[in-house]
Chain A
Amino acid sequence: MNGTTTVSLVGVGGQGILLAAAILAETASAEGLDVKASEIKGMAQRGGTVLSTVRFGENVWSPVARHADVVIAMELLEGCRGLGLLAPQGTLVCATTTRIVPGSVLRREEEYPDDLPAAAAARGVRLIALDAEALAREAGTLRAANVVLLGAASAVLPFAAMSWQRGLAAAVPAKILEVNERAFALGRGAVSNEEVGP
């Protein structure tokens, strides 16, 4: 609202959500925008859900928002949950082939969701689905799946390529920068190559 864009990053502890959020925040800063970010990460190491929110614009007041314009989901179930965070007309960027199955599903008490495209369509959400792990492996490490997703999200975020470069360089440790730059490019390329939902 009021010219402020909200991006929420969701996933499971250990998936690199905080690094992706840091890159995004640095990129927005490189554009000369005001940025606020917040995260709930107390349970990050114990397999709980992690949520990080980055907001940018001319003048950002609140660090949180009820609805996001873009949700970046590192995992399918969290992507389904992330639908609830999206504003109407929002975009969900989701690693739809990544499944981290919670205990209740392992124990067959609950069912893992299997129809994200339909759920997204029902909510009028644009879904960018990709095999982030495969692209990350192609880039050189599975651990870069977070940056693959960020690359895909860059297709719908209003930042110049130069700003993304600066954002990556500012947030990613030097010795893994190159592999992450490759991951970012692969993610970005995947969106233009793919049929993107409504």
Chain B
Amino acid sequence: MERTLFFSGNEAIAYGAVRAGAVFACGYPGTPSTEILETAARLEGIHAQWCVNEKVALETAVGASLAGVRTLVTMKHVGLNVAADPFMTLSLTGVNGGLVVVSADDPGMHSSQNEQDNRAYARFAKVPMIEPSDSQEAYDFVAEAFALSEEFDTPVLLRSTTRLSHGRGHVIPRVPVELEPRDYVRDIGKYVMVPQYARLRNRLVLERLQKLRTRAEETPLNVLEAGTADVGIIASGVAYTYAREAFPKAWFLKLGMSHPLPYRKVARLFQQVSRVAVVEELDPFIEEQIRALGLPVVGKAAIPADGELDQDIVFRALEPFVSRRPPRRRRPVFPPAPRLADPPQPAPGLPVRPPVLCPGCTHRAVFTALRRHKLAPMGDIGCYTLGALPPLLALDSCLCMGASIGMMAGFNKALGRKAAAAVIGDSTFFHSGVSPLIDAHYNEAQGLVIVLDNRTTAMTGHQGHPGTGLRADRSRGPAVDIHKLCEGIGVRCDTVDANDYRALDAAIKAELDAPGLGVVVALAPCVLMVREKAGEIVVDDERCNLCGLCLDVGCPALGPRGGAVAVSDVCTGCGLCIEICRRGALSYAGASGAGAEGAR
């Protein structure tokens, strides 16, 4: 075994991550979290990168996790507010390679604008919260956090605070963790969080929380430490070290995994002693949950709810309580597992009517071209998310607004090749797609970003956005040009007419063959804004053998009739089916065998 090291908590987290087999780390600097990534960047065996903000960092980390590697993402407490959008839904999708989110909180606001207690995020997102109390635990618990993440298919939140991050202590290094490689497996039910899939995942999250609580009862991270005095203290993180020093004879329930709370371990402490206090910095996170069990505790009535603690504050706060007459013993009442709503029951025997891309929607052409390539296309939020569903099956993920580009970047970085693409709408691009594009350029991520520019915010009913200049009151403001914006960033950009399938197909192919990062803007106004029909499409019943190629793009205007395909009156004449047909069976009325040579 190597010699004992002397690490700050932040260094210990970085070393612990490498020891746990993490090979990808990212984050945004913020005191007191910064040195975690700075340390990782110096270490062998792990790629570390600063991202443009915490949201992009988390999305990039999710991409790396999906690619199959253990991934660490670091930020300060307020950074998690920025990353909250992907974080909340990541709880539903879960992970592939273990994913640990470090939130470094700053009680006392040494260098922060607030002192929010991010344990609330663990409860909010229903994910485990790991709280080391010193450098050795920081080093050790990171591996535990990664293992939990993979076992329970969840992101794990690891909370540091200023005194852990910037405190130092001895660390005994451990043997590196051996890992089996994890392949990426496409799973739209898990990674595409459209309502029908998200409802099912949400039930799994609620069930997972119950299983995690059972684990919290069993894990050695939560330890009941015997004392000699008739006093018990429940504490987590650095607060434990203060309480331990102030009351050396007390019993302790030390919580290394503070969420979900191990109710029975709490009850066991109450069996041992007649007075119990909770020592925690900032919010009464643990205290309120214990009170909910009907157990009498002293907490924030004595321990300050703001600022940092130390052993002196803890001692003075709890001294009177220790000598006071103990409260009457009470039995805990454990809350039952919550009931889940009855799952939706589809009407038996009736066809479902899922939302679909409109007839003539040019997204369909992009997806048809894109799915010719063996890629993991990361999706985003808009009408085009529907392209993830059958029969198109053209997108692999939908996490939150603007997540596609960061996820693509992380995925491709982790695998070292162009294995993923990103598909994002114009309005979503302005919402939160520009930052990750800047980030992907800065970090030299490989990949293809397709911006589906239909000149509107279509899904919600055709609202304007900066790309169109159209404002809420229908007045016109200056418009931002996506193509120029991309070039201004320094990213190669090709804008093609999305109504021209062949040009689209060629642009995508060219971009995939090119090195590095590039954008293809697939430009065509939303078909709902284009009123006139492009042409009448007719079927040559002799040539059509109902092979199903055109039906496979999910156009509502196409269906079989007899032994051939029939075009219904909802057809807009976009002509994609003409391009797809290999037998030249479809053509514009009047044009002789327009599609006769077929698409490639």
Contacts and interface: CB of A to CB of B under 8 A. Distances in A.
A71 to B, nearest CB: 13
B352 A46 contact: no
Nearest to B349: A113
Contacts of A110: 351-352
A43 B355 contact: yes
For B353, B386, B551, B560, the residue with the greatest tally of chain A CB atoms inside 10 Å of its CB is B353
B353 A106 contact: no
A49 interface: yes
Interface stretch (A77-85, A168-176, A182-190): A77-85
B347 A81 contact: yes
Contact of A112 (B351, B355, B560): B351
B353 A108 contact: no
Contacts of A108: 560
A77 B350 contact: yes
A106 B566 CA distance: 10
A154 B449 CA distance: 54
Which label, helix, strand, loop or mixed, suits the secondary structure of the B interface? loop
Nearest to A109: B351
A47 B391 contact: no
Interface in A69-128: 77-78, 80-81, 83-84, 101-108, 110-113
A102 B354 CA distance: 8
A43 B382 CA distance: 11
B551 A46 contact: no
A106 B356 contact: no
B556 interface: yes
A47 B559 contact: no
Given A46-B386, A47-B353, A106 B559 contact: yes
Given A46-B357, A46-B358, A47-B358, A105 B347 contact: no
B461 interface: yes
A59 interface: no
Q: How big is the A interface, by class?
A: 20 to 34
A49 B354 CA distance: 7
B126 to A, nearest CB: 24
Given A47-B556, A102-B351, 7 more contacts: A43-B355, A45-B461, A46-B356, A48-B354, A102-B353, A106-B558, A113-B349
Given A103-B556, A106-B559, A113 B353 contact: no
Given A46-B386, A77-B350, A113-B350, A106 B355 contact: no
Nearest to A113: B350
12 contacts: A46-B357, A46-B386, A47-B353, A47-B356, A47-B556, A48-B353, A78-B353, A103-B391, A103-B554, A103-B556, A105-B559, A107-B559
Contacts of B554: 103
A12 interface: yes
B383 interface: yes
Nearest to A111: B351
A104 B356 contact: no
The 4 A-B residue pairs with the shortest CB-CB distance, nearest first, are A106-B559, A48-B355, A46-B355, A110-B351
Interface in B124-158: none
Interface of B: 347, 349-358, 383, 386, 391, 458-459, 461, 528, 551, 554, 556, 558-560
A105 B356 CA distance: 13
A46 to B, nearest CB: 4
Contacts of A13: 355
A77 B356 contact: no
Contacts of A103: 354, 356, 391, 554, 556
Contacts of A84: 347
Contacts of B560: 106-108
Contact of B383 (A46, A104, A105, A106): A46
Contacts of A80: 347, 350
A158 to B, nearest CB: 29
A108 B351 CA distance: 10
Contact of B355 (A47, A78, A83): A47
Contact of B351 (A12, A45, A46, A77): A77
A96 to B, nearest CB: 15
A166 to B, nearest CB: 28
B350 A101 contact: no
A97 to B, nearest CB: 16
Nearest to B551: A107
A23 B459 CA distance: 26
Contacts of A105: 351, 559
Contacts of B459: 45-46
Nearest to A84: B347
A74 to B, nearest CB: 12
A78 B347 CA distance: 10
Interface string A50-80: 0000000000000000000000000001101
A47 B357 CA distance: 8
A81 B351 CA distance: 9
A77 B559 CA distance: 17
A106 B551 CA distance: 9
Nearest to A12: B353
Contacts of B556: 47, 103, 106
A45 B528 contact: yes
Contacts of B551: 106-107
Contacts of B391: 103, 107
B558 A81 contact: no
A77 B353 contact: yes
A107 B558 CA distance: 9
A102 B390 CA distance: 13
Given A47-B556, A103-B554, A81 B350 contact: yes
A138 B44 CA distance: 79
A103 B551 CA distance: 9
A102 B458 CA distance: 21
Contacts of B352: 102, 104, 110
Contacts of A47: 353, 355-356, 358, 556
A161 B398 CA distance: 50
Nearest to B351: A110
A43 B347 CA distance: 19
Contacts of A49: 353
Interface in A140-189: none
A104 B558 CA distance: 11
